[in-house]
């Protein structure tokens, strides 16, 4: 079951692609967060979505908003993926305990062992203000979450 708008976002602390710890609570009071769950690194739709964010990064990450992309791939996979695609935003690993963050957000696909495409916009107080959950093969509409960020 996914979260509802107005609910507190579950905190987490995981590694980014460089092995550095990143927690949701570290942005509390400082930045809104766009949390992008995606199924697998190096797949066509996932790469395309994250490249769209990369190519228009100022709309998603600035002095008041932080992008965090997350999948159940290992830190080493995330590092190569981020380097290959020139992602300058954190690419987080939900590898172990496997899918724990995705499960907390209600976007873990048990049969495939990965997250589905879940997007959560979390305000500076840690409250979910917008979300959309798409199926494995259904690409997100980047314009939708750009509009949601602008509404914060």
Cβ-proximal residues to 111 (8 Å cutoff; 6+ apart), any chain: none
The dihedral through the CA atoms of 100, 106, 112, 118 has a sign that is negative
How does DSSP classify residue 61? S
Query: What is the distance in angstroms between the CA of the first residue and the CA of the last residue of the chain?
Result: 25
pLDDT tens digits, residue range 113-137? 999 999 999 999 999 999 999 888 8
This prediction has a pTM of 0.94
Which of 37, 103, 93 minimizes the C-alpha distance to 67? Answer: 37
pLDDT score of 2 = 67
The dihedral through the CA atoms of 107, 108, 111, 112 has a sign that is positive
Please state the domain extents for the chain.
13-150
Cβ-proximal residues to 97 (8 Å cutoff; 6+ apart), any chain: none
pLDDT score of 135 = 81
User: Would you call 46 a catalytic residue per the annotation?
Assistant: yes
> Choosing from 46, 51, 72, 114, which is the catalytic residue?
46
pLDDT tens digits, residue range 19-34? 999 999 999 999 999 9
Q: Is 74 exposed, middle or buried (0-12, 13-18, 19+ CB in 10 A)?
A: middle
Q: Distance between CA atoms of 78 and 22, rounded to whole angstroms?
A: 14
Q: Which residue has the tokens 């797949």?
A: 43
Q: Which fold has domain 13-150?
A: Glutaredoxin (3.40.30)
């Amino acid at each position: 079951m996914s979260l509802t708008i107005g609910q507190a976002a579950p905190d987490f602390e995981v590694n980014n692609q460089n092995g550095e710890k990143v927690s949701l609570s570290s942005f509390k009071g400082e930045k809104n967060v766009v949390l992008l769950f995606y199924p697998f690194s190096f797949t066509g739709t996932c790469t395309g979505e994250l490249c769209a964010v990369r190519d228009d990064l100022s709309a998603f990450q600035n002095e008041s908003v932080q992008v965090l992309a997350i999948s159940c791939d290992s830190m080493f996979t995330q590092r190569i993926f981020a380097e290959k695609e020139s992602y300058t935003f954190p690419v987080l690993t939900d590898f172990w305990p496997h899918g724990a963050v995705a499960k907390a957000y209600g976007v873990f696909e048990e049969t495939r062992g990965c997250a589905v495409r879940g997007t959560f916009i979390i305000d500076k107080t840690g409250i979910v203000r917008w979300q959309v959950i798409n199926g494995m093969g259904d690409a997100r509409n980047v314009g939708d979450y750009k509009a949601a960020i602008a509404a914060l």
